[in-house]
Structure 1
């Protein structure tokens, strides 16, 4: 997990200190991108549960999509880190491209990966395909990530006005919720299946821990 190095409390949070247990909410320093991806997913589901089919519900569509886009982005980035770690540990320990700093540099570089969902998907698949994956990546999940990318290739189209088509559009919101939830869950299942497959197999002589 990456660390910020900061130790001072967040001034915004200190402005409203917790006083009563039933009113508390916590931010934990050990929340990595994987946990944050699940948090965005959970927040999106909770927002979707407030849908009542009323005109005011139109206001939740883009914030809802923003949450899901971020959830997919963070999940893909964690899969890249995880699969690169498996390649280092089991197959190419000396490959400089697979070292943690090199992977992190690619993830953070906006011209290489950054917030580009399609580029993140392709990078993740490159790592996955280099491993002994027992199953093909689900086509429906690949298609959904590409559709999200096409709708918001900049990472800002759901957050700011003026980047989506200049037309009025309607869609079935419960179907959208079900689609995004199913494919996000599928993406997590792919990561779990591959990491568990390696965890159950022969281990290298030098365990050394995950890196």
Structure 2
């Protein structure tokens, strides 16, 4: 995605907390898009699980872990949607539906838009892949299961970020089993993204994406 013109509010971080020491420095790169951010969230989620030692204080990793993984899926699905739309636009297919402006509105908030819904973005991506006749096979079941899991537990994108007043007793959860399912689904999503982009990239182009 292209960055909007103008000064980013994130510049305040560099002004107030700038560093040149490799011992303390972390870098935010302007070329990174939603796909990069999705991988950052996924990696941080996995790092949280790596810190788990079976101690009572390790209970604190669960909700941040789920929040990060859900955000990773949301961003990568939206990035895949933008990738497909860019190719469709390039092919000359219904510019009003696949233009960048139209897609940015579709993936954003709003009653009829995707907002934080994983099911809406996944359904759109699945339908587009089917219409493009890219594969005789359906999308991997591991990917579908992971998306369903995250959507069913947190359909609005807020359940992992705030306490649930309806929860009245402790839940004992195998975080390694949970991580394995979410990690497997995410890697399948990455594979689907790569396959779709590489396959469509070799198709003839009718114009540049605008």
Q: Normalised by the size of structure 2, how large is the TM-score?
A: 0.90
Q: Which runs of 5+ in 1 are unaligned?
A: none
Structure 1 pair 19/79, CA: closer, same or farther in 2 (3 Å)? closer
Give the superposition deviation at 1:59.
Answer: 0.6
**2-structure distance, mates of 1:164, 1:68:** 23
Stretch of structure 1 that moved more, 4-13 or 37-46: 4-13
Structure 1 pair 117/94, CA: closer, same or farther in 2 (3 Å)? closer
Corresponding residue SS for 2:158: coil
**1-structure distance, mates of 2:199, 2:122:** 21
Residue of structure 2 in register with 1:128 after alignment: 129
**2-structure distance, mates of 1:7, 1:187:** 33
Contact 2:99–2:209 under 8 Å retained in 1: no
Contact 1:77–1:107 under 8 Å retained in 2: yes
Residue of structure 2 in register with 1:84 after alignment: 85
**1-structure distance, mates of 2:6, 2:19:** 21
Corresponding pairs, count: 207
Residue of structure 1 in register with 2:169 after alignment: 167
**1-structure distance, mates of 2:162, 2:209:** 39
Give the superposition deviation at 1:164.
Answer: 6.2
**2-structure distance, mates of 1:137, 1:32:** 24
Residue of structure 2 in register with 1:194 after alignment: 196
Give the superposition deviation at 1:173.
Answer: 1.1
1:158 aligns with 2:160: yes
Structure with larger RCO (C-alpha < 8 A, sep 6+): 2
Contact 1:141–1:183 under 8 Å retained in 2: yes
Give the superposition deviation at 1:58.
Answer: 0.6
**2-structure distance, mates of 1:4, 1:20:** 30
Corresponding residue SS for 1:136: coil
**2-structure distance, mates of 1:174, 1:81:** 32
Contact 1:151–1:164 under 8 Å retained in 2: no
**1-structure distance, mates of 2:16, 2:179:** 35
1:118 aligns with 2:128: no
Q: What RMSD, in angstroms, separates the aligned Cα atoms of the two structures?
A: 1.9
- After superposition, residues 66-105 of structure 1 pair within 5 angstroms as 66-90=67-91, 92-105=92-105
**2-structure distance, mates of 1:144, 1:199:** 28
**1-structure distance, mates of 2:73, 2:187:** 10
Give the superposition deviation at 1:53.
Answer: 1.2
Q: Normalised by the size of structure 1, how large is the TM-score?
A: 0.90
C-alpha distance after superposition, 1:3-51 (max 9, x if no partner): 1323266223322220422221111111110110011111111111101
